[in-house]
Amino acid sequence: MTLIVLVSVVAVAAFYYVISAYQQPGPLTTNTHFVVPDGAGLAQISQMLERNGIVSDARVFRYMTASYLQKEQTLKAGEYEIKAGMSMKDIALLLESGKSILYSVSMPEGLTVQQMVKRLADDPILEGPVPNELPPEGSLRPDTYKFSRGTTRGEILAQMRAAQEKLIDQIWAKRDPDLPIKTKQEFVTLASIVEKETGKDDERAHVASVFMNRLNKGMRLQSDPTILYGLFGGAGRPADRPIMRSDIDKQTPFNTYQIKGLPPTPIANPGRAALEAVANPWRTNDLYFVADGTGGHAFAATLDEHNANVRRWRKIEAERANASGDTLNGGSPGGADAEKPPKGN
Protein backbone atom coordinates (compact mmCIF):
# COMPACT_ATOMS: atom_id res chain seq x y z
CA MET A 1 0.00 0.00 0.00
CA THR A 2 2.83 2.33 0.90
CA LEU A 3 4.51 1.63 -2.45
CA ILE A 4 1.33 2.44 -4.35
CA VAL A 5 0.98 5.70 -2.47
CA LEU A 6 4.62 6.56 -3.14
CA VAL A 7 4.27 5.84 -6.84
CA SER A 8 1.12 7.94 -6.97
CA VAL A 9 2.84 10.84 -5.23
CA VAL A 10 5.79 10.65 -7.63
CA ALA A 11 3.45 10.50 -10.64
CA VAL A 12 1.48 13.51 -9.44
CA ALA A 13 4.68 15.41 -8.73
CA ALA A 14 6.05 14.57 -12.17
CA PHE A 15 2.80 15.62 -13.79
CA TYR A 16 2.81 18.99 -12.07
CA TYR A 17 6.52 19.42 -12.84
CA VAL A 18 5.88 18.87 -16.55
CA ILE A 19 2.93 21.27 -16.56
CA SER A 20 4.93 23.85 -14.62
CA ALA A 21 7.97 23.48 -16.89
CA TYR A 22 5.76 23.85 -19.96
CA GLN A 23 4.18 27.08 -18.72
CA GLN A 24 7.01 28.79 -16.86
CA PRO A 25 9.35 31.34 -18.50
CA GLY A 26 11.95 29.79 -20.78
CA PRO A 27 15.75 30.08 -20.70
CA LEU A 28 16.18 32.68 -23.46
CA THR A 29 17.66 35.96 -22.22
CA THR A 30 17.40 37.79 -25.55
CA ASN A 31 15.06 37.60 -28.53
CA THR A 32 16.13 35.19 -31.26
CA HIS A 33 14.99 33.86 -34.63
CA PHE A 34 14.08 30.22 -35.09
CA VAL A 35 13.42 28.48 -38.40
CA VAL A 36 11.04 25.53 -38.65
CA PRO A 37 12.11 23.63 -41.77
CA ASP A 38 9.58 22.37 -44.30
CA GLY A 39 8.40 18.89 -43.36
CA ALA A 40 9.87 18.97 -39.85
CA GLY A 41 7.93 16.95 -37.28
CA LEU A 42 7.39 17.71 -33.61
CA ALA A 43 10.24 15.48 -32.44
CA GLN A 44 12.76 17.21 -34.72
CA ILE A 45 11.49 20.68 -33.82
CA SER A 46 11.68 19.87 -30.10
CA GLN A 47 15.32 18.79 -30.41
CA MET A 48 16.18 21.89 -32.43
CA LEU A 49 14.59 24.15 -29.81
CA GLU A 50 16.57 22.54 -27.01
CA ARG A 51 19.79 22.59 -29.03
CA ASN A 52 19.39 26.33 -29.60
CA GLY A 53 18.72 27.01 -25.91
CA ILE A 54 15.14 28.09 -26.57
CA VAL A 55 13.50 25.41 -24.37
CA SER A 56 15.00 23.65 -21.38
CA ASP A 57 13.68 20.14 -22.10
CA ALA A 58 12.85 18.78 -25.55
CA ARG A 59 10.85 15.88 -24.09
CA VAL A 60 8.60 18.17 -22.09
CA PHE A 61 8.02 20.37 -25.13
CA ARG A 62 7.27 17.40 -27.37
CA TYR A 63 4.87 15.53 -25.11
CA MET A 64 3.02 18.56 -23.77
CA THR A 65 2.69 20.13 -27.22
CA ALA A 66 1.38 16.86 -28.67
CA SER A 67 -1.13 16.65 -25.83
CA TYR A 68 -2.04 20.34 -25.86
CA LEU A 69 -2.43 20.67 -29.65
CA GLN A 70 -3.83 17.14 -30.06
CA LYS A 71 -1.71 16.36 -33.12
CA GLU A 72 1.95 16.60 -34.06
CA GLN A 73 1.67 18.14 -37.53
CA THR A 74 0.23 21.50 -36.48
CA LEU A 75 3.56 23.36 -36.18
CA LYS A 76 4.08 25.32 -39.37
CA ALA A 77 7.26 25.89 -41.33
CA GLY A 78 8.69 29.38 -41.29
CA GLU A 79 10.99 31.79 -39.50
CA TYR A 80 9.77 32.99 -36.11
CA GLU A 81 10.88 35.55 -33.56
CA ILE A 82 11.09 33.92 -30.13
CA LYS A 83 10.92 36.48 -27.33
CA ALA A 84 13.22 36.35 -24.32
CA GLY A 85 11.72 34.24 -21.53
CA MET A 86 8.97 32.83 -23.76
CA SER A 87 7.38 29.71 -22.28
CA MET A 88 7.18 26.39 -24.11
CA LYS A 89 3.42 26.76 -24.28
CA ASP A 90 3.66 30.19 -25.92
CA ILE A 91 6.33 28.94 -28.32
CA ALA A 92 4.07 26.05 -29.34
CA LEU A 93 1.17 28.45 -29.90
CA LEU A 94 3.39 30.74 -31.98
CA LEU A 95 4.65 27.91 -34.19
CA GLU A 96 1.13 26.58 -34.51
CA SER A 97 -0.20 30.01 -35.56
CA GLY A 98 2.08 30.26 -38.59
CA LYS A 99 2.74 33.94 -37.81
CA SER A 100 6.26 33.88 -39.13
CA ILE A 101 8.54 36.87 -39.63
CA LEU A 102 7.59 38.93 -42.69
CA TYR A 103 10.14 40.68 -44.86
CA SER A 104 9.36 43.17 -47.59
CA VAL A 105 10.63 44.35 -50.95
CA SER A 106 9.54 47.73 -52.29
CA MET A 107 8.91 48.53 -55.94
CA PRO A 108 8.39 52.27 -56.51
CA GLU A 109 6.25 53.58 -59.34
CA GLY A 110 8.09 54.22 -62.58
CA LEU A 111 10.66 51.44 -62.41
CA THR A 112 11.06 49.30 -65.50
CA VAL A 113 10.56 45.55 -65.45
CA GLN A 114 14.32 45.08 -65.69
CA GLN A 115 14.88 47.34 -62.67
CA MET A 116 12.20 45.57 -60.63
CA VAL A 117 13.59 42.14 -61.45
CA LYS A 118 17.04 43.34 -60.38
CA ARG A 119 15.59 44.34 -57.00
CA LEU A 120 14.21 40.84 -56.61
CA ALA A 121 17.55 39.34 -57.62
CA ASP A 122 19.41 41.52 -55.11
CA ASP A 123 17.11 40.73 -52.18
CA PRO A 124 19.07 38.58 -49.69
CA ILE A 125 16.04 36.72 -48.28
CA LEU A 126 14.16 35.66 -51.40
CA GLU A 127 15.08 32.30 -52.86
CA GLY A 128 15.35 30.82 -56.33
CA PRO A 129 16.38 32.34 -59.65
CA VAL A 130 14.76 35.17 -61.55
CA PRO A 131 13.27 34.14 -64.89
CA ASN A 132 15.43 34.25 -67.99
CA GLU A 133 12.58 35.83 -69.95
CA LEU A 134 11.36 39.11 -68.49
CA PRO A 135 7.62 39.88 -68.24
CA PRO A 136 6.27 42.53 -70.62
CA GLU A 137 7.04 46.14 -69.74
CA GLY A 138 4.26 47.71 -67.69
CA SER A 139 2.93 44.37 -66.43
CA LEU A 140 4.24 44.56 -62.83
CA ARG A 141 2.46 46.47 -60.11
CA PRO A 142 4.53 48.94 -58.10
CA ASP A 143 3.94 48.24 -54.40
CA THR A 144 5.58 46.90 -51.25
CA TYR A 145 5.40 43.11 -51.13
CA LYS A 146 5.66 41.21 -47.86
CA PHE A 147 6.90 37.66 -47.71
CA SER A 148 8.24 35.05 -45.33
CA ARG A 149 11.56 33.24 -45.55
CA GLY A 150 11.40 30.52 -48.16
CA THR A 151 9.40 32.59 -50.65
CA THR A 152 10.84 32.45 -54.16
CA ARG A 153 11.52 35.31 -56.53
CA GLY A 154 9.24 33.65 -59.05
CA GLU A 155 6.36 33.70 -56.55
CA ILE A 156 6.74 37.43 -55.89
CA LEU A 157 7.01 38.14 -59.61
CA ALA A 158 3.81 36.20 -60.28
CA GLN A 159 2.09 38.13 -57.48
CA MET A 160 3.23 41.45 -58.95
CA ARG A 161 1.99 40.51 -62.39
CA ALA A 162 -1.41 39.31 -61.18
CA ALA A 163 -1.84 42.47 -59.07
CA GLN A 164 -1.06 44.76 -62.01
CA GLU A 165 -3.40 42.90 -64.35
CA LYS A 166 -6.22 43.18 -61.81
CA LEU A 167 -5.55 46.89 -61.23
CA ILE A 168 -5.44 47.68 -64.94
CA ASP A 169 -8.72 45.85 -65.57
CA GLN A 170 -10.44 47.69 -62.70
CA ILE A 171 -9.36 51.16 -63.79
CA TRP A 172 -9.80 50.53 -67.53
CA ALA A 173 -13.41 49.53 -66.89
CA LYS A 174 -14.08 52.99 -65.37
CA ARG A 175 -12.34 55.07 -68.05
CA ASP A 176 -13.73 58.10 -69.83
CA PRO A 177 -15.38 56.68 -72.98
CA ASP A 178 -14.16 59.60 -75.13
CA LEU A 179 -10.45 58.90 -74.77
CA PRO A 180 -8.34 58.72 -77.95
CA ILE A 181 -6.73 55.51 -76.66
CA LYS A 182 -8.67 52.39 -77.54
CA THR A 183 -6.81 49.42 -76.06
CA LYS A 184 -5.45 48.46 -72.66
CA GLN A 185 -1.97 48.30 -74.19
CA GLU A 186 -2.24 51.94 -75.27
CA PHE A 187 -3.71 52.80 -71.88
CA VAL A 188 -0.79 51.34 -69.94
CA THR A 189 1.73 52.82 -72.39
CA LEU A 190 0.43 56.35 -71.92
CA ALA A 191 0.15 55.85 -68.16
CA SER A 192 3.81 54.83 -68.08
CA ILE A 193 4.76 58.07 -69.84
CA VAL A 194 2.70 60.13 -67.39
CA GLU A 195 4.34 58.21 -64.53
CA LYS A 196 7.79 59.18 -65.77
CA GLU A 197 6.85 62.79 -66.48
CA THR A 198 5.70 63.81 -63.02
CA GLY A 199 5.73 62.50 -59.49
CA LYS A 200 3.24 65.07 -58.24
CA ASP A 201 -0.16 63.64 -57.40
CA ASP A 202 -1.98 66.86 -58.28
CA GLU A 203 -0.36 67.05 -61.73
CA ARG A 204 -0.82 63.61 -63.21
CA ALA A 205 -4.34 64.14 -64.56
CA HIS A 206 -3.25 67.52 -65.97
CA VAL A 207 -0.21 66.01 -67.71
CA ALA A 208 -2.46 63.25 -69.04
CA SER A 209 -4.81 65.87 -70.49
CA VAL A 210 -1.94 67.46 -72.42
CA PHE A 211 -1.04 64.16 -74.05
CA MET A 212 -4.69 63.38 -74.80
CA ASN A 213 -5.10 66.77 -76.47
CA ARG A 214 -1.96 66.23 -78.55
CA LEU A 215 -3.12 62.78 -79.63
CA ASN A 216 -6.50 64.20 -80.63
CA LYS A 217 -4.79 66.87 -82.74
CA GLY A 218 -2.33 64.47 -84.34
CA MET A 219 0.63 66.17 -82.65
CA ARG A 220 3.67 64.23 -81.55
CA LEU A 221 3.81 63.61 -77.81
CA GLN A 222 7.46 64.76 -77.57
CA SER A 223 8.08 63.26 -74.15
CA ASP A 224 11.66 63.22 -72.85
CA PRO A 225 11.34 59.88 -70.99
CA THR A 226 10.56 58.16 -74.28
CA ILE A 227 13.90 59.38 -75.65
CA LEU A 228 15.68 57.79 -72.70
CA TYR A 229 13.86 54.48 -72.98
CA GLY A 230 14.67 54.31 -76.67
CA LEU A 231 18.36 54.90 -75.93
CA PHE A 232 18.87 52.87 -72.76
CA GLY A 233 15.92 50.48 -72.57
CA GLY A 234 14.90 48.94 -69.28
CA ALA A 235 18.32 49.46 -67.70
CA GLY A 236 17.61 53.18 -67.49
CA ARG A 237 19.78 56.22 -68.10
CA PRO A 238 23.10 56.36 -66.23
CA ALA A 239 22.96 58.99 -63.50
CA ASP A 240 25.79 61.01 -65.03
CA ARG A 241 24.33 61.00 -68.56
CA PRO A 242 22.33 64.14 -69.44
CA ILE A 243 19.85 64.29 -72.28
CA MET A 244 21.65 65.85 -75.23
CA ARG A 245 19.91 67.95 -77.84
CA SER A 246 21.21 65.51 -80.44
CA ASP A 247 19.27 62.73 -78.68
CA ILE A 248 16.03 64.28 -79.90
CA ASP A 249 16.92 63.44 -83.48
CA LYS A 250 17.88 59.82 -82.83
CA GLN A 251 15.50 57.41 -84.50
CA THR A 252 14.17 54.78 -82.12
CA PRO A 253 10.73 53.14 -81.97
CA PHE A 254 10.17 54.91 -78.63
CA ASN A 255 11.29 58.47 -79.38
CA THR A 256 8.03 60.42 -79.45
CA TYR A 257 9.86 63.43 -80.87
CA GLN A 258 10.26 61.32 -84.02
CA ILE A 259 7.31 58.92 -84.09
CA LYS A 260 3.64 59.73 -84.27
CA GLY A 261 1.32 58.42 -81.60
CA LEU A 262 2.43 56.12 -78.81
CA PRO A 263 5.54 53.95 -78.47
CA PRO A 264 5.10 50.23 -79.17
CA THR A 265 5.17 49.30 -75.46
CA PRO A 266 5.09 50.99 -72.06
CA ILE A 267 8.36 52.55 -70.91
CA ALA A 268 7.93 51.67 -67.22
CA ASN A 269 5.48 50.16 -64.74
CA PRO A 270 2.84 52.77 -63.88
CA GLY A 271 1.17 52.86 -60.50
CA ARG A 272 -2.47 53.37 -59.59
CA ALA A 273 -2.36 57.19 -59.65
CA ALA A 274 -0.92 57.38 -63.17
CA LEU A 275 -3.38 54.79 -64.46
CA GLU A 276 -6.30 56.65 -62.92
CA ALA A 277 -5.04 59.94 -64.36
CA VAL A 278 -4.97 58.52 -67.89
CA ALA A 279 -8.33 56.79 -67.49
CA ASN A 280 -9.96 60.05 -66.42
CA PRO A 281 -7.75 63.01 -67.32
CA TRP A 282 -8.65 66.60 -66.73
CA ARG A 283 -10.53 68.33 -69.51
CA THR A 284 -8.27 71.20 -70.59
CA ASN A 285 -7.09 72.91 -73.76
CA ASP A 286 -3.45 72.65 -72.74
CA LEU A 287 -0.92 71.33 -75.24
CA TYR A 288 2.38 72.16 -73.52
CA PHE A 289 4.13 72.02 -70.18
CA VAL A 290 7.58 72.87 -68.87
CA ALA A 291 9.27 72.77 -65.47
CA ASP A 292 8.35 75.72 -63.26
CA GLY A 293 11.26 75.58 -60.81
CA THR A 294 9.24 74.29 -57.87
CA GLY A 295 9.25 70.62 -58.78
CA GLY A 296 6.08 70.99 -60.80
CA HIS A 297 5.19 72.25 -64.26
CA ALA A 298 3.71 75.32 -65.95
CA PHE A 299 1.02 74.43 -68.48
CA ALA A 300 -0.04 76.32 -71.58
CA ALA A 301 -2.69 76.08 -74.29
CA THR A 302 -0.81 78.12 -76.90
CA LEU A 303 2.75 78.12 -78.15
CA ASP A 304 3.19 81.80 -77.21
CA GLU A 305 2.17 81.06 -73.60
CA HIS A 306 4.41 78.05 -73.57
CA ASN A 307 7.40 79.97 -74.90
CA ALA A 308 6.97 82.53 -72.12
CA ASN A 309 6.97 79.68 -69.59
CA VAL A 310 10.11 78.27 -71.22
CA ARG A 311 11.87 81.62 -70.92
CA ARG A 312 11.02 81.76 -67.22
CA TRP A 313 12.36 78.24 -66.74
CA ARG A 314 15.58 79.04 -68.63
CA LYS A 315 16.08 82.07 -66.40
CA ILE A 316 15.67 79.88 -63.31
CA GLU A 317 18.15 77.39 -64.77
CA ALA A 318 20.68 80.15 -65.43
CA GLU A 319 20.32 81.61 -61.94
CA ARG A 320 20.83 78.20 -60.37
CA ALA A 321 23.85 77.52 -62.57
CA ASN A 322 25.42 80.84 -61.63
CA ALA A 323 24.77 80.23 -57.94
CA SER A 324 26.41 76.81 -58.06
CA GLY A 325 29.20 77.71 -60.46
CA ASP A 326 27.98 75.17 -63.01
CA THR A 327 27.48 75.72 -66.70
CA LEU A 328 24.16 75.06 -68.37
CA ASN A 329 23.89 71.95 -70.45
CA GLY A 330 22.39 72.98 -73.75
CA GLY A 331 21.41 69.47 -74.68
CA SER A 332 18.24 69.14 -72.66
CA PRO A 333 15.13 69.17 -74.86
CA GLY A 334 13.22 72.37 -74.74
CA GLY A 335 13.14 75.91 -75.93
CA ALA A 336 10.83 78.06 -77.94
CA ASP A 337 11.47 76.52 -81.31
CA ALA A 338 8.95 73.71 -81.68
CA GLU A 339 5.45 72.52 -80.96
CA LYS A 340 6.62 70.47 -78.02
CA PRO A 341 6.14 70.34 -74.26
CA PRO A 342 9.79 70.43 -73.07
CA LYS A 343 10.41 69.20 -69.59
CA GLY A 344 13.01 69.93 -66.97
CA ASN A 345 14.37 66.44 -66.38
The predicted model scores a pTM of: 0.84
Tell me the pLDDT band of 14, cut-offs 50, 70 and 90.
Answer: low
H and E: helices and strands count for the chain: 11, 6
Q: Measured between alpha carbons, how far is residue 321 from residues 138, 184, 224, 317, 325 in Å?
A: 36, 42, 21, 6, 6
- Once rounded to an integer, what is the mean pLDDT over residues 249-259? 96
- pLDDT exceeds cutoff 50 at 247: yes
Of residues 123, 121, 75, the one with CA closest to residue 100: 75
The secondary structure of 164-214 as a DSSP string is HHHHHHHHHTTS-TT-S--SHHHHHHHHHHHHHH---TTTHHHHHHHHHHH
Strands (E), the chain: 32-36, 78-82, 102-107, 143-148, 288-291, 297-300
Strands 78-82 and 32-36, by their bridges, are antiparallel
Residues 313-326 have pLDDT tens digits of 999 988 888 877 65
d(CA 103, CA 265): 32
Q: Is the dihedral of CA 58, 61, 66, 72 positive or negative?
A: negative
Model confidence at 244, pLDDT cuts 50, 70, 90, reads: confident
For residue range 38-88, list pLDDT tens digits in order.
Answer: 889 999 999 999 999 999 999 999 999 998 776 556 899 999 999 999 999
**What average pLDDT score do residues 158-170 get?**
99
pLDDT confidence band for 342 (50 / 70 / 90): very low
Rounded CA separation 200/295 (Å): 8
Q: What gap in Å lies between CA 29 and CA 84, rounded to an integer?
A: 5
Other CB atoms within 10 Å distance of the CB of residue 30: 8
**Predicted confidence band at 335 (pLDDT cuts at 50, 70, 90)?**
very low
pLDDT at 329 over 60: no
Q: What is the dihedral of CA 197, 200, 204, 210, to 10 degrees?
A: -60
Q: Report residue 241's pLDDT band, with 50, 70 and 90 as the boundaries.
A: confident
Q: What is the mean pLDDT of the chain?
A: 89
| 116-125 pLDDT per residue, tens | 999 999 999 9
339 pLDDT tier (thresholds 50, 70, 90): very low
